[in-house]
Amino acid sequence: MKYRQLGSTGIKVSEVGFGAWQLGNARDWEGMEDNQAIRLVHEALEQGCNFFDTAPNYGGGNSETLLGQALSGRRSEAVINSKFGHHPDNNLDFDSKKIRSSVEESLRRLKTDYLDSILLHNPPFEILSGSTAHFQVLDSLKQEGKIRAYGASVDSSGEMDELMRNTGSQVIEVMFNIFHQEPRRAFKLAAEKNVGLIVKVPLDSGWLSGKYDQNSIFTDIRSRWDQDQLRKRAELLPVLKEMLEPGESLVQLALRYILYYDEVSTCIPGNKNLEQLNENLSPSGNRLSIEKVKKLEKVWEEKLQTDPLGW
């Protein structure tokens, strides 16, 4: 496993992290046994993965709880990122007065006295302007040592720009993958401001695993895709598979594309079993050629830039 700096935080993170949305989460994904979830976290640590991304609403708080159990006695080996705004009861509430209590509850579930980073979880755009009390509260929590860094989880370059130009955020989580390249427009500014980038949805919610086609039926959160979305994704898969090197999987290509960009600190694929975890962690240290990257950028520019896919 290779490691990168998380922006200006002074924190080193594994370039492939652990997306913990699936841990203990039967509400959005197929459920897994608690002991299986804990084993996955332990195996990730053994393979050098140290970055864990969670949130209060993942599994109604179960993700944080299981992560806390798994990291008991091993907190120093892990970098934990959590969020604010989506609450365990699945209620969406960005009232700045609730940040402190939300952080305290996350700390309790995670069995720790600090978070390495916390993000406003896809907040309304106006909050990103820094004109509300949110970032004052986050500054206070940082000064108290309850968080080491803060920022927001967003989906577009415009949101990234707004956040970086108007707040003291050191960390941004953004959706970026082969099918969703628009945020790349803000990477230059992130480098200039030394903001650490965490890439979420790196495999397009599993689509870039190559396991699905337009006839696939989803009963979990991916049921949000309609038939047109499935068809458009399916039409692009053969184009990507033609770019694979011998022995390379589509997952590896997808993650290596993201890790090509030096502005990216880490990416956080989700893990439902040991086989997925092993494949997700395998691309670290193997860099794509610039020629391959340009081909992948061209796919997005020609096929998706003006007709983007829904997430």
Catalytic residues: 58
Q: Locate 187 and state its tokens.
A: 């990477």
Alpha-carbon distance of 54 to 245, in angstroms, equals: 33
Q: Are 146 and 101 in contact (CB under 8 A)?
A: no
**Residue for token digits 């081909």?**
295
Question: CB of 297 within 8 A of CB of 57?
Answer: no
- Overall size of the chain counted in residues: 311
- For residue 273 the two structure tokens come to 């079993």
The two counts, helices (H) then strands (E), for the chain are: 10, 10
Q: Are strands 3-5 and 12-14 parallel, antiparallel or unpaired?
A: antiparallel
Contacts of 15 (CB under 8 A, 6+ apart): 1, 2, 3, 4, 259, 264, 265, 266, 267, 284
The CB-side HSE value for 75 (13 A sphere, CA atoms) comes to: 12
DSSP secondary-structure letter at 310?
Answer: P
CA gap 78, 62 in Å, rounded: 18
Choose among 146, 38, 164: nearest CA to 84.
146
Looking from the CA of 185 toward its CB, the CA atoms found within 13 Å total 13
Distances (CA, A) of 3 to 6, 106, 118, 177: 9, 26, 20, 20
> Taking the mean position of all CA atoms in its chain, how far away is CA 210?
20
